[in-house]
């Protein structure tokens, strides 16, 4: 069972179909593993009761030869900003610490229709406002890589030589998991689930995927329903997918994508499921290397990965071309303005009246609102609300919000020009370094870190484009190094196909539970 938890979904599904393993056995092993990796704090809520009931249902379908598909009996996790009926959905905030929705998010509902088993709700930065998963009411999530949990319970399986961890790990130090979907990333990396949903507004799925050595897929805006996802920035939020392989990410995408009458922002056309070939030909692809992504601060190791994969794609027949996205440097500032405006608007409903946190205050409605919001939100959230309200003042609206929207259009047009000139994909870094140590990360405030961490990922959200993180190799410190591919809207098949080709070429090392950590 130990090795089964680190295998691709298709292999586990085949074992379930053949009857050599029962869904309840896989579920029980996953639930037990959540206890072993608890020090990493990936989960806010482990839904072991729900998981066991759902796995028992899958057992019965297995016995009747009526399994629902390749996800039937497969453990998954969901970021705790997605609604699950009757279960806490906290957004890692005191404001929603006791909130249990009365309905399921569409993405979860669709996973359940495929028979997926919910292991738990995962940790995040409060209301998804962060890039490290350190600003959570429930404490930070720690990266598996470079941790004591890794050295104690996991071994690194690879067909190619990989560097050992180059620096001794002090007990007081650990590496961030990335954010804001760090809990979902660590849940998948540890093997407690086979895939997890994150959300991606400026890179919140791809950033932790980069630091945790995972596939992190951000679909085209409008391809996947946002219904039941508590919003951060309505026009950029996209449900993201974290998985260990490209094929696994495609399976999850096939399950959740498509129009949803409950979400008018979804594209109203039938979704065509993606089937990826085993043998991939990239000789017909023009892949752009945008010069604006080679910014100061990019590590030598990330740059070397970028150069190496570019060379490998060239050897495989792809045409690698230098390109320019001239408005990239304005993107992160533009995003910061729009983010805070939407935060001020979206979080106005948390006032202590209808649901959520409420203080014991009866003097005036004004005092109730003020004290509830002061207690309910952390400093990061309150800061964004205040700045957003300033941007939205009548005298400031045109100077900030309108200008930011105009710049967003220019950023999107930069991408359109490349697609019109027969560029098929872009290859860029995802993050500028491997995962920082916590002590180094917190030297800068939340806003500054987001400006750094989102530089390479956020422009795809501004333009609504699909993008994917692919892990490449380990750094000298034994931490994952990754790259990003970006494609035109609704070209997920092209994106995933190229990502799979890179995956097959680089053969990123796979983690397995040690025999000493028996879960049978």
Say if residue 267 is exposed, middle or buried (CB neighbours under 10 Å; 0-12, 13-18, 19+).
middle
What secondary structure does DSSP assign to 90-120, as a single string? -TTSGGGTT---SS--HHHHHHHHTT-EEEE
Entry field: residues in the chain = 520
Q: Which residue is associated with the tokens 């005036």?
A: 364
**From 13, 79, 131, 136, the catalytic residue:** 79
Residue position matching structure tokens 């990796």: 37
CA gap 407, 411 in Å, rounded: 6
Task: Name 199's bridge partners.
Answer: 239
Single out the catalytic residue among 30, 180, 199, 331: 180
Q: Where are the alpha helices (DSSP H) in 322-378?
A: 328-346, 365-376
Quick check: 216 and 222 in contact, CB under 8 A? no
Is there a cis peptide before residue 190, judged by omega within 30 degrees of 0? no
C-alpha closest to that of 271 among 117, 106, 72, 54: 106
Q: For 292, left (φ over 0), alpha (ψ -120 to 50), or beta?
A: alpha
**Whose CA is closest to 202, among 237, 234, 229, 228?**
237
Q: What angle do CA 214, 483, 221 make, to 5 degrees?
A: 80
In degrees and rounded to multiples of 5, residue 404 shows phi and psi of -65, -40
What are the percentages of helix, strand and coil residues in the chain, rounded to 5? 40, 15, 45
Strands 286-290 vs 215-218: parallel, antiparallel or unpaired: unpaired
Sole residue written with tokens 């200008």: 403
Q: Does the active-site annotation cover 161?
A: no
Kindly state the tokens that stand for 111: 């996973």
Contact in structure between 181 and 199 (CB atoms under 8 Å): yes
Residues 6 or more apart from 278 whose CB is under 8 A from it?
none
Q: Dmax over Cα atoms in the chain, in whole Å?
A: 72
Q: Is 157 labeled as catalytic in the residue annotation?
A: no
- DSSP letter for 49, please: H
Give the C-alpha separation, 269 to 265, whole Å: 12
Catalytic annotation, pick one of 13, 131, 204, 225 = 204
- Any bridge partners for residue 512, and if so which? 155
Does residue 30 have an active-site annotation?
A: no
Helix ranges, 97-245 (H): 106-113, 148-153, 182-190, 206-212
- Burial of residue 194 (CB within 10 Å: 0-12, 13-18, 19+) is buried
CA distance 270 to 46: 34
What residues are labeled active site? 79, 180, 204
């Amino acid at each position: 069972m130990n090795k089964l938890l680190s295998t691709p979904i298709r292999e586990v599904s085949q074992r379930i179909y053949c009857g050599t393993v029962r869904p309840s056995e896989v579920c029980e092993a996953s639930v037990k593993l959540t206890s072993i990796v608890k020090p990493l704090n990936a989960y806010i809520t482990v839904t072991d009761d729900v998981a066991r009931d759902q796995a028992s249902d899958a057992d019965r379908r297995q016995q009747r030869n009526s399994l629902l598909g390749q996800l039937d009996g497969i453990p998954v996790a969901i970021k705790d900003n997605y609604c699950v009926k009757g279960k806490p959905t906290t957004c890692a905030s005191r404001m929603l610490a006791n909130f249990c929705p009365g309905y399921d998010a569409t993405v979860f509902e669709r996973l359940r229709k495929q028979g997926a088993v919910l292991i738990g709700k995962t940790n995040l930065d409060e209301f998804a406002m962060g890039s490290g998963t350190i600003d959570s009411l429930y404490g930070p999530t720690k990266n598996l890589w470079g941790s004591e949990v890794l050295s104690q319970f996991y071994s690194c399986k690879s067909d190619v030589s990989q560097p050992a961890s180059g620096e001794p790990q002090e007990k007081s130090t650990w590496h961030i998991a990335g954010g804001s979907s760090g809990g979902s990333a660590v849940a998948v990396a540890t093997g407690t689930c086979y895939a997890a949903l994150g959300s991606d507004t400026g890179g919140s799925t791809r950033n932790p995927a980069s630091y945790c050595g995972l596939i992190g897929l951000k679909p085209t805006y409008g391809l996947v329903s946002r219904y039941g996802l508590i919003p951060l920035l309505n026009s950029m939020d996209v449900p993201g997918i974290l998985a260990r392989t490209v094929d696994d990410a495609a399976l999850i995408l096939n399950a959740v994508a498509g129009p949803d009458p409950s979400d008018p922002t979804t594209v109203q056309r039938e979704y065509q499921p993606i089937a990826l070939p085993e043998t991939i030909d990239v000789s017909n692809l023009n892949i752009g290397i945008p010069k604006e992504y080679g910014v100061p601060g990019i590590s030598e190791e990330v740059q070397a990965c970028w150069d190496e994969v570019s060379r490998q794609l060239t050897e495989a027949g792809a045409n690698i071309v230098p390109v320019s996205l001239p408005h990239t440097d304005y993107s992160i500032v533009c995003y910061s303005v729009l983010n805070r405006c939407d935060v001020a608007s979206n979080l106005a409903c948390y006032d202590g009246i209808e649901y959520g946190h409420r203080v014991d205050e009866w003097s005036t409605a004004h005092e109730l609102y003020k004290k509830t919001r002061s207690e309910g939100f952390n400093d990061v959230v309150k800061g964004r609300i205040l700045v957003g309200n300033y941007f939205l003042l009548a005298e400031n609206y045109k100077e900030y919000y309108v200008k930011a929207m105009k710049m967003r259009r220019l950023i999107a047009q930069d991408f359109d020009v490349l697609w019109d000139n027969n560029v098929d994909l872009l290859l860029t870094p995802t993050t500028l370094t491997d995962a920082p140590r916590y002590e180094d990360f917190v030297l800068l405030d939340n806003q500054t870190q987001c400006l750094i961490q989102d530089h390479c990922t956020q422009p795809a959200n501004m333009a609504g484009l699909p993008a994917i993180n692919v892990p490449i190799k380990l750094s000298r410190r034994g931490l994952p190094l990754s790259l990003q591919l970006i494609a035109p809207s609704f070209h997920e098949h092209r994106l995933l196909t190229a990502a799979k080709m890179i995956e097959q070429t680089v053969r990123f090392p796979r983690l397995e539970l040690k025999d000493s950590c028996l879960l049978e």
